[in-house]
Structure 1
């Protein structure tokens, strides 16, 4: 629950903290990271002790690459979420939501630590996320992509194979496979082409948030480029650019992205 505003005459033009909080989360989902970061910074300046605000601030800072400003908030939100799980009742209907929040914070914490050149800390965060749910798609994908970025191709592929055997969802699996292919210095053109086509097809599904679509299309563009298909790479990159400034409409995304 967000804190109430001080008693004052209502201003129809002024958003409540709850409205700003919801808008910040929506902007992140829309891929409008810079506006989200501005809203998150404003919220945290007024409510620095509110765990949901601390968490969304960490996510927003990470989204704009300010990992040094993100890691403490992500870690704090993760710890408080895990504490709530440890101390809460097993029958609490909010447990799945709290667990999802902890997993999301730990996963982004791992990515941020890796970006800061702290691989041991990144591995520790991923292991904690997977301990909460070994089959959660986001930490599974993050672990594979981190291994690929380190050029540990065999380890990344092995973990992806295990995840696929356990039923990893199709889009996280495709994104992870694309990361592995792009990390190979000599990935075959046919492999890149097939993966790019697969990612592009997956982005035509209604219901994906814009930030995920943008990532998938950018990765497809890179794969098409590696396959020597410059026209297809340009088309995928152009579609990704359509999501840059919050012009995403989930109900009509197929029309928007294929324009």
Structure 2
């Protein structure tokens, strides 16, 4: 017989290359990071749930405080109504008793009946209203009824008044005048000035100024320069000077047009032949 040979099978472990080792390390690190991330995410979910619960509790506590304050205010207002009602009824009765002495006067008697009827109606209506509102105090405190709305505050809106009328003119002479507020203003020669209409019309009639459409404005504006003295003796006070009376009124528009009168022709004598019958 032929002897059998012992054959042994050897298995060799895989040999990892350097790139495979680096990849394995990276995969292990990524897996660890994923686990850490999931742990943080779960922790954040728990924290967010706690924050939401805390906010809800805080809102509930705030609402409880607000409801309590509103219910206490309502109860205080009702107490004030109950205290004021007897005074109102007593004052109405005193007034009615005083008017009743004037029974011979029809209007006085009508007022007595009106006061008595109104006082009775107010007393009954107040009783029903107080019972209902007393129940509302508890309902507001327990959150069953809403908090009464605050009383609206009425604010008056100021109406802007229109500014007084003014007129711009071109000053031929320097002048002082008062504006609508009573302040003294200085109008410079050969410059535009804005003043009350009545003052501007007075300056135009006196020849102290011309309209801004006057040709003199384009020629003289700004030629004086900055040499101005409001206290100079030649400065005219438009609020003090008096216009000559009994003089014809000249319209400043045609007056500022500088019309030149035409020379009058010499008189001539013409002979006309008239046939005689």
User: Do both proteins adopt the same fold according to a TM-score greater than 0.5, normalized to the shorter chain?
Assistant: no
Question: Which structure has more strand as a fraction of its residues?
Answer: 2
Question: Which structure has more helix as a fraction of its residues?
Answer: 1
What TM-score, normalized to structure 2? 0.16
